[in-house]
Structure 1
Amino acid sequence: MVKKYIVVLPLAVIAILATIFQYPVHIINALTLESVPGYGVQISIVRVIFEPVLGVLLYLNRSLYPLQELPIALGWIVTFYVLYGLYKVRSTISDGQRSRRVLLFLGNLPLLIGICFAIFVVILFLPLPNNTIVNNTDNEVLVTTHAHTEFSHDGLMSQEKMWQWHRRNGFDAFFITDHANYAKTLEFSQRQRRRELPPEPLILVGQEHSGSNHMSLLGLKGTFETKGKPDSVIVNLVHKYGGAVLVNHWFDGKGKAKEFYKDLGVDGFEIENVGKELYYDRELFRELKEYCEDHNLLMVGGLDFHGYGRACAIWNAFTIPNWDKMDLVSRENAILEVLRARDQDKVKVLMYNDRPYYDSSNLVFSPFITLINYFRTLNLYQVLSWFFWLILVQLLWNFRRRYFVPMRKKIAIAGLLSALFLVALGFYYWVRANAVKGYSDLFLEYSSLLLIIGSVFMGYSLFVMYIRFFRKVKK
């Protein structure tokens, strides 16, 4: 009787967390942490339909410290399986059955680890249908000042897909800031000027310069060479040709003192950068914020998107009246003018907020807190999606028949599918590595890793499939 209605408990927990303890998803100002009026959140219908899968994956993707929290979460899954396996083995009376359970447990463990690794790859590398921003303001446009395509040594996304990604995430304009290369971006931007691409979002030309610290050189046009030049010369050249310079992720401690960059004449600093962690040390944040306010330096949010990693979580809102009536050149000039003027009143740093803040001092139990907070963010339609899928699973459980695939075979199938996914993605990266040879280093690096791991995992999965599907058991 308990197994027949076991779904009732999770349904009740989900309903309570989503109503009584609700945490509404909203957009905040990164400088004040207050909610920003005029902006909402749009949830993809595809996500709502498959909420129990896509919703959880996306919420994990938006973790504050994903590179630390995701392995911990997957580690807990393996830990629970090990504990469950040990319990099943100890509770078995017959020696023969105990031996079979031990073999089944040991055989499933590599499959589960491989499946967890594939899930980790899905979360970080696939463009899932994430929630995005809705701009209901009259005079504000959303801009990225920091993004990398496959023409950067650390990028994994084509220019066209980068453009589509920014359009899907509500941006009106975006700078491509590939490392040590802006010629390809200039070509791409000129295609839009020739009307070979739709006008929105606007493609803007930049470059990330790796000098004493990484800096975004924005608004580049024509011939511009940075190789071998000191930071001071580069900053002066960018300004001479009407551009702006922003210091990227200065707070990671790899550059010089902030006073050094102020004296160089930079226009501002990234006050947030979500390429790795959503929040860095808050004391350092306050120090940098106060310094920028005291010295008239602009503060922006660095999306630092490379075609993989966290779903979009930051936007810069520029106040530019009559944006819709401007041509492309006028729009570009208006954005550059806001940057050069360093007028913080015309720039808001917007951040996606779907959970309370916590620091990275103790993340061991963060997956459980994350799961609770995830259910708190659900709206009515997402809750109904959970209800539908849980009830469907319960019905299938109640009315299962012998011709249903047993669990030991299901996990073997899941392992093989996971291995096929890893190999397919590795092969795709290998194709892209050859297409952009001499630019992105990551395609070749990740393709080798995925092909090796995927091939080994596939061989093991096929062996298990043979044992569990085709090998005859001796009686």
Structure 2
Amino acid sequence: MKFTNKTQLYIFVALVLTITFITVLFHYSIHITDALTLETLTDYGIQISIWRIVFEPFIGVLLFFNRSFFAIEELKFLLYWLLAIFTIYSIIKSILIKEKQLIKKFIFRQLVNLPIIGGLWFAAFVLILFIPLPNNTIVNNSKNSVLVNTHSHNDFSHDGVISQDGLWKWHKRNGFDAFYITDHNNHDKTFEFVQAQRNYEFPNEPLVMCGEEFSGSNHLSLLGLKAKFSTQGFTDSTAINLTHSGRGVVIVNHWFDGEKMSLEYYKNLGVDGFEIENTATNFTYDRKLYKKIKNYCQENNLIMLGGVDFHGYGNACSLWNAFDIPGWQSLDPVAKENAILKIIKTRDQDKLQVLLYNDRPYYTEKNLLFSPVFTLFNYFRTLDFYQIISWIFWILFFAIIKNTISSNNKLQKQFSTHRLVSVFGVLGAFFLLGLSLVYQLRIENIIGFTEMYEEYSALLFYTGLVFLVYSGVVTSFKIFIRKA
């Protein structure tokens, strides 16, 4: 390929060299760590989806932001950075334009494109939040470790946005051997789903188990429930005692998020342990508080585990509980759950590790304004050889297209940047409207449970409609009216 513009050649070479330089000289290997000891665990590896590798520049960056410690806040700051870069580019470009009439025309185009850029950011945000992209998954190379999630929700929780079947598939995709469904203040539907699996209506791996997240003075996971009952109006002690009487266990969820009652209070009520990490609440809460919980549990023989607390948002998984259970595959479903519950009941921390996915250095909420820059830098640090090749391929692919268009005046007019921006705006709007329709169709089957489908369906519909009208008008003007 021969570049008709030396600037394009320099940009291509600079991008390839920068990515390679960061990856090679500052490489950060993705690994699994023990949340209690902070040691790297060599018995577990990372599997990268072939689809992610093929489309790495598009999927990889989104997934890396998805796993950020403060994802929503950081994505907001990413928008600010994009707007700032867009503004700076517009100012520099307008200065370089010599004819005043063309300057006015260029500035007008940029102002017209500004809302579309905001809309595309929102569409990308929704994509990260709701669509199950092919994220990295854990590879369990250990001899006896069984990967379990003790905290998850579906759309029978008031704040869930995933079906029971979807939740089962999500756990299967993310390497779990078993998981508890802990919907808020009810478990009737979970109990029926568990019975359906026991009746071989769908595969037994991963194993589904019945629990409930009881909203008392703090959220409590009631695990190992064997019958239907309502916890409405229960006190903490009643919920705990009833669960224990049925040979279940009780875990205090994300106590660090609010500290509503003391650790001593829950210990005296007879809880079995505490979540030491919760990836849905605050993945990097104050480490002083972390040490307080850890020391208290160790001193009082209370089990520590991690909660994924998955609700259907942000589909990348970053936490697993590894139970040491020899002969897992030979056990029947009842024996498997009893083995899990036994480790929790006996508070045997030596047989339970909390695993964390680690793809970046630890950081706090300070200076999040600059987090998009550091997140992008850390992303490139984690790439392997095949991901770098993917980046080089796509950079070269778009460089060839750009070079071809630049050498043809007719193509330059048809595929100009300002036209493509509005076309992508239309596509982004259709994506939002399509997802709104999907959620609208789910409402009927879930009335009385989740409130999210109706809320998100309305939000996505009106946002998508406004976005579609605006992008459609701009696209029509740029392509059809101007051509006429």
Query: TM-score normalised by the shorter chain: which range applies?
Result: over 0.9
- Quick check: 1:370 aligned with 2:378? no
Alignment-derived partner of residue 450 in structure 2: 440
Alignment-derived partner of residue 92 in structure 1: 97
Q: CA deviation at 1:472?
A: 3.2
Q: 1:237 aligns with which of 228, 238, 242?
A: 242
CA contact (8 A) 1:142 1:315 kept: yes
Q: CA deviation at 1:332?
A: 1.2
Residues 6/206 of structure 1: CA separation in 2 closer, same or farther (3 Å cut): same
Q: 1:175 aligns with which of 164, 176, 180?
A: 180
In structure 2, what is the Cα distance between the partners aligned to 1:120 and 1:215? Answer: 31
- Quick check: 1:184 aligned with 2:189? yes
- Quick check: 1:291 aligned with 2:292? no
Q: CA deviation at 1:86?
A: 2.1
- Quick check: 1:416 aligned with 2:426? yes
- Quick check: 1:27 aligned with 2:32? yes
Q: CA deviation at 1:225?
A: 2.3
- Quick check: 1:76 aligned with 2:86? no
Amino acid at match of 1:420: F
- TM-score, with length taken from structure 1: 0.98
In structure 2, what is the Cα distance between the partners aligned to 1:92 and 1:107? Answer: 19
What is the number of residues matched between the two proteins? 474
How does 1:379-458 map onto structure 2 within 5 Å? 379-400=384-405, 401=408, 402-403=410-411, 404-458=414-468
How does 1:50-129 map onto structure 2 within 5 Å? 50-129=55-134
In structure 2, what is the Cα distance between the partners aligned to 1:432 and 1:362? Answer: 40
CA contact (8 A) 1:145 1:175 kept: yes
CA contact (8 A) 1:140 1:317 kept: yes
In structure 1, what is the Cα distance between the partners aligned to 2:44 and 2:459? Answer: 41
Q: CA deviation at 1:89?
A: 2.5
Alignment-derived partner of residue 317 in structure 2: 312
Q: Which moved more, 1:387-396 or 1:24-33?
A: 387-396
Deviations 1:1-20 (A, max 9, x none): 13234211111111122122
Gaps of 5+ in 1: none
Q: CA deviation at 1:254?
A: 4.9
Q: 2:51 aligns with which of 19, 41, 46?
A: 46
Alignment-derived partner of residue 286 in structure 2: 281
- TM-score, with length taken from structure 2: 0.96
Deviations 1:425-474 (A, max 9, x none): 11211111222111001111111111111111111011101110111379
Note the aligned Cα RMSD (angstroms). 1.2
Gaps of 5+ in 2: 1-5
CA contact (8 A) 2:422 2:475 kept: yes
| Corresponding residue SS for 1:120 | helix
Q: 1:140 aligns with which of 133, 136, 145?
A: 145
Residues 473/101 of structure 1: CA separation in 2 closer, same or farther (3 Å cut): farther
Deviations 1:75-116 (A, max 9, x none): 211111112112222333323212211210111001100001
In structure 2, what is the Cα distance between the partners aligned to 1:247 and 1:255? Answer: 11
Alignment-derived partner of residue 265 in structure 1: 270
Runs of 4+ aligned residues of structure 1 deviating over 4 Å after TM superposition are: none
Deviations 1:182-217 (A, max 9, x none): 010111111110011111000000000000000100
In structure 2, what is the Cα distance between the partners aligned to 1:58 and 1:316? Answer: 22
CA contact (8 A) 1:275 1:309 kept: no
- Quick check: 1:348 aligned with 2:353? yes
In structure 1, what is the Cα distance between the partners aligned to 2:123 and 2:360? Answer: 26
